[in-house]
Chains A and B, each alone.
Chain A
């Protein structure tokens, strides 16, 4: 870089470029937030769904599973598990853990009440109805 391009020019481009990017990002964020209600099942998630999300978080499900592709890659995707397995299977599966099959990956037993299982399923149902631009490519997640 020659003497024509000085440090103070570089600095000014940094400030200008960063400011422009931040403003553009904020504008896109504003637009996205405005569009969201049309892309999710219910604009305000129900109490059940909210409680289910809290259970999802406090059991650290994301530490093994992915949800809409984000999380750990140790256990199956659960964003579409409601559609893949249905509500009853999900509850039976959670209640049956851990399998104790030697050498197999194990999921802890969380001792959920029936109410808690309903909440969790409600959250997974809500999540499965988000408009994800047709991701994942197939039902296996």
Chain B
């Protein structure tokens, strides 16, 4: 039986494998960081905290991008009802992106950052050393080249085929992603301006265009597993992404409270970003509504679970935990504390990690030549879902507790204490966060194992007819 509707969808497979591989690396470095919070000199000077953090966050971004690209290569041919414009280009870009990513990480780990900046021509155009945009100039240029060629490939495919709302929304998100990345090259010496436009990459990615990509992927998977009418799903999608951009674009203002920008941002940012949970809530309702109205029972139960999980966890992490500290009077005290870290962890996991794992869960069995995974493999995958999701909830809760205590001791009490004095008192929460991280890693191990699990041979019931021996 032909499982893939279009042969060229197969190019998604290496993208998904690379995504999972880099995910493992990201979590390993997360565990190093978690330990450095309590054993300050752990691995110093071999891997200082800042280096491990760069690897942790950059790997996250890169593996999610691999996931998004894999998702696009998988779903666009099916939506456009035509083969991918150039599978060869897709393969080529895969290797360019993987090698560039690997070299960048090796660069972070092998030489001091200042040396890396010198070696890679940072003085030609100073773009390095800003949070999440630490990549050397050649890597940044490589990202632009890969993004453009990728968009060309996807764009041409959509152009020659059927144009559905899902693929148009996905393409809009991907174009936005590429265009906004160009602000990574703008780094004025005026720190306030630098910060202002740095958010055009960071915020407008994760609270803007990435949500379009998220919506499109989720919509596609829900369409496939529920069999609900396309019109209904696409109408929902438009409503969700309208809410996303109308709240999220001006919502950028919640980063403009204390960085030197005018005070009116406390109102603009506060009001609009307070509404940012609304699209996420709509997404939760959307997921459950579609699954409840399903017209068929899809045998891939794990994919359904991931899709519903994305709806819930994105709302909790991005929506609720974002709302907690988005209003200016609250943010005045919580800005730049562990509260931010708590929100960052659950939001990234709930929205983007989970949606990539959703499409992988749905598509990977077919890419591996089977309609769905065997029962035992699915059960293990669902175990990994719960292990990772519940431990992420605990990571978030422990960081939130640490954050509340930090705010209290450092910013509220009459005789505020110094940063490091406060950190010492948070150690217990950091230890518990680290243990939750270990459980997360165990969940990830179960996830990896689920790909190779086979059903146990059926046991024969007592009294059943024994096969005759020959």
B423 / chain A contacts, CB cutoff of 8 Å: 105
Interface centre among B238, B410, B411 (most CB of A within 10 A): B238
Q: Do B338 and A21 touch (CB < 8 A)?
A: no
CB of A115 within 8 Å of the partner chain: no
- Surface stretch bound by A, among B22-30, B124-132, B365-373, B445-453: B124-132
A136 to B416, CA, bound (A): 12
Residue of B nearest to A18 (CB): B245
**Judging by beta carbons under 8 Å apart, are B238 and A54 in contact?**
no
Q: Is the interface of B mostly helix, strand, loop or mixed?
A: helix
CB nearest neighbor in A for B51: A63
User: In angstroms, how far is the closest chain A Cβ from the Cβ of B298?
Assistant: 24
**Bound CA–CA A24/B413 (angstroms):** 40
- Name which residue of chain B comes closest to A56, CB basis: B129
B250–A59 CB distance below 8 A? no
A72 interface neighbour in B50, B165, B190, B417, Cβ under 8 Å: B50
Interface size class of B (residues with CB under 8 A): 35 or more
Can you list, as one digit per residue, whether each of A80-105 has a CB less than 8 Å from chain B (1) or not (0)?
Answer: 00000000000000000010111111
Residue on A nearest B52 in the bound complex, by CB:
A63
From B114, B235, B260, B336, contact of A40 by CB (8 A): B260
Using A10-B238, A39-B262, A74-B37 as known contacts, say yes or no to A63 and B50 having CB atoms under 8 A apart: yes
A13 and B51 in contact (CB under 8 A), knowing A39-B262, A130-B192?
A: no
* Residue in contact with A69 in the complex, picked from B232, B246, B258, CB distance below 8 Å: B258
B464 within 8 A of A: no
Q: Are A72 and B53 in contact (CB under 8 A)?
A: yes
Chain A, interface size category, equals 35 or more
In the complex, what residues of B have CB within 8 A of residue A76's CB?
A: 418-420
Which one of A39, A63, A106, A135 contacts B335 once the chains associate, using CB atoms below 8 Å? A135
Chain A: minimal CB distance from B229 (Å)? 11
A108 touches B129 (CB 8 A): no
12 example contacts (A-B, Cβ-Cβ < 8 A) are as follows A21-B249, A21-B250, A32-B261, A64-B48, A68-B195, A69-B336, A70-B259, A70-B336, A73-B338, A73-B341, A76-B420, A137-B411
Q: Which 6 A-B pairs have the closest CB atoms?
A: A63-B50, A57-B129, A69-B336, A105-B40, A135-B258, A10-B238
Give 12 new A-B contacts, CB below 8 A, not counting A40-B190, A105-B36. Answer: A7-B165, A7-B231, A22-B249, A24-B249, A36-B261, A54-B126, A58-B114, A60-B54, A73-B341, A108-B45, A132-B258, A132-B260
